[in-house]
Amino acid sequence: MNQAAVAVPSPSGSGLLRDAPGVRVKFCGLTRATDARLAGALGVDAVGLVFYPPSPRAVTVAQALEIVAAIPPGLTRAGLFVDPDMATVQRVLAQVPLELLQFHGAEPAGLCRAFGLPYLKAVRLRPGMDVAAVASTFPDAFGLLLDTYRPGVPGGTGEVADWSQIPSLPGRRIVLAGGLHAANVGEALRRVSPYAVDVSSGIERSPGVKDPGRMVAFIRELRHATDQATDYATAR
């Protein structure tokens, strides 16, 4: 689909790190400036750049700078890492103006907080996992990104997480990921009530290449679901 032909909803993104009503939206795994521009026009709150070379969505510093230059002010720039050493993260931060870090490996809290930026800690929902106990080991995380578990794959599986595993975590921001797309994001909001949703494969035509129609459809369905929730709350 040609981007010019996409019916774009009015932008309303205020950034993932800013207090604002409603559910935030993060588009992750961007590799092209054109996709970043559309994300900004759609009013998403954050974009994620993957600095994990084995991923099909990985970007170089040069690609990251091109993408960052294409997004509007106010949209949060996140960098995703998997079990990095400190030097790797510092090297990226010295060149790319990131505002949020996202860790998808077995990183300890000490490493996650070492860079002086807010961070999301990904928690892959293994069967039987005590999610509250895992969350307690990252007390200073800006949010917990709850994702699907698949052995050996740190994210981007396209598989829906087991939402029934997610406990009530008062005072913690939940960022829901794992197999989200236009057809299930409304149900995800109703069942989980997350602070934010994070989508990657659900808006792609191939890994790392976003599909304009799917991007628009995702935002449209999310806003439809949030509008319905607001109408219901107002009517009560």
For position 65, which CATH number holds?
Answer: 3.20.20.70
Pairwise CA distance, residues 78 & 124, whole Å: 19
pTM of the full structure: 0.88
The helix (H) or strand (E) run that includes residue 81 is: strand 76-81
Identify each DSSP E strand in 82-142 by its residue range.
100-103, 119-125
Structural domain range at position 148: 11-235
In a domain? residue 3: no
Contact 59, 65 (CB under 8 A): no
The total domain count for the chain is 1
Identity of the residue numbered 7: A
Active-site residues, by number, are: 28, 147
Euclidean distance between CA atoms 47 and 16, whole angstroms: 9
DSSP code at position 144: E
- Whether 198 is covered by a domain: the verdict is yes
pLDDT, one tens digit for every residue, the chain (236 residues)? 444 344 434 334 458 998 778 899 999 999 999 999 999 999 999 999 999 999 999 999 999 999 999 999 889 999 999 999 999 999 999 999 999 999 999 999 999 999 999 999 999 888 888 999 999 999 999 999 999 755 555 545 567 778 888 888 999 999 999 989 999 999 999 999 999 999 999 999 999 999 999 999 999 999 999 876 544 344 44
Residue 6 located in a structural domain: no
From 80, 75, 70, 41, select the one nearest 177 (Cα to Cα): 80
**Does residue 4 sit within a domain?**
no
Tell me the residue length of the chain. Answer: 236
Contact 188, 166 (CB under 8 A): no
Q: Is the dihedral of CA 175, 77, 218, 199 positive or negative?
A: negative
Whether the CB-CB separation of 173 and 143 falls below 8 Å is answered with yes
Whether residue 72 is contained in a domain is answered as yes
